[in-house]
Amino acid sequence: MVTQRKKNIQKVKDKNLLMIFTRNPELGKCKTRLAATIGDQAALEVYQLLLEHTVTITKNLGVTKEVYYSTRIGENDIWNQTIYNKKLQEGEDLGIRMYNAFQNGFNAGYTNIIIIGSDMYDLIQQDIENAFKALKANDYVVGPAEDGGYYLLGMKKLNSKIFQNKSWGTNTVLQNTLNDLQQTNIKLLEERNDVDYYEDIKDISVFQHLLSYQND
């Protein structure tokens, strides 16, 4: 049995794992800050477009891919189960949920693990590919978001500290995370903007037909 376990771990040695955190798309329960301006239905449709974009930029990546649902694992949805392993987020807050996901990945034998969200319209496939390349030469890779958080986090070994004592969803998350990573080998990616407010999408053409809801 020990020999078989070693073989199983060897299969994923040096393999890359991409974990995608997503909210189940339900009316009134996603993009609530955006919904305050354009309404629940339009906000849901915006989020569905963001999910579609996330699938587009990740489905062809040559890495193992896992999608972590917020409340329940979806069936026959946008996430093709032949491409994505489906799992459920576990924990009381975002930090604990991310920690548990990373722990699962490292326990499975993966050595380079990256996590992203599902609300980044200006993220492309090459950005994620570049992040994995950067992780080969660095212990950590972080993608700063314009709102003071981060849109991507990658590491080679589990670090529980960076998931603790954070005010998730605030503009202090990135700086406090970087403080935790002082004296480490870290690569910062280009800053990107996630979608939380009307201002984040008002100039993006793909969302324009939904923004008319605001004026109805």
What does 57-126 look like in DSSP terms, one character per residue? HHTT-SSEEEEEESSS--SSSSS-TTT-EEEE--SSSHHHHHHHHHHHHHHTT-SEEEEE-S--TT--HH
The closest of 112, 111, 148 to 131, measured between CA atoms, is: 112
pLDDT digits (tens, 9 = 90+) for 61-102: 999 999 999 999 998 899 999 999 999 999 999 999 999 999
pLDDT digits (tens, 9 = 90+) for 16-65: 999 999 999 888 888 888 888 888 898 898 889 999 999 999 999 999 99
How far CA 24 is from CA of 30, 112, 136, in Å, comes to 8, 26, 32
Cβ-based neighbours of 205, under 8 Å, separated by 6 or more: none
Q: Map out the domains of the chain as residue ranges.
A: 2-215
Which pLDDT score, from 0 to 100, does residue 2 have? Answer: 47
Radius of gyration of the chain (CA): 18
Long-range contacts from 83-87, C-beta under 8 angstroms, 24+ separation: 83/59, 84/20
Which pLDDT score, from 0 to 100, does residue 194 have? Answer: 83
pLDDT of residue 165 exceeding 80, the answer is: yes
Rounded mean pLDDT, 144-152: 93
The closest of 35, 32, 124, 107 to 66, measured between CA atoms, is: 107
pTM: 0.88
In which band, very low, low, confident or very high, does the pLDDT at 104 lie, cut at 50, 70 and 90?
Answer: very high
Q: What angle do CA 108, 114, 116 make, to 5 degrees?
A: 125
Q: Give Cα 173 to chain centroid, integer Å.
A: 15
pLDDT of residue 11 exceeding 70, the answer is: no
The CATH classification number of 2-215 equals 3.90.550.10
The closest of 160, 154, 156, 43 to 95, measured between CA atoms, is: 160
96 touches 82 (CB < 8 A): no
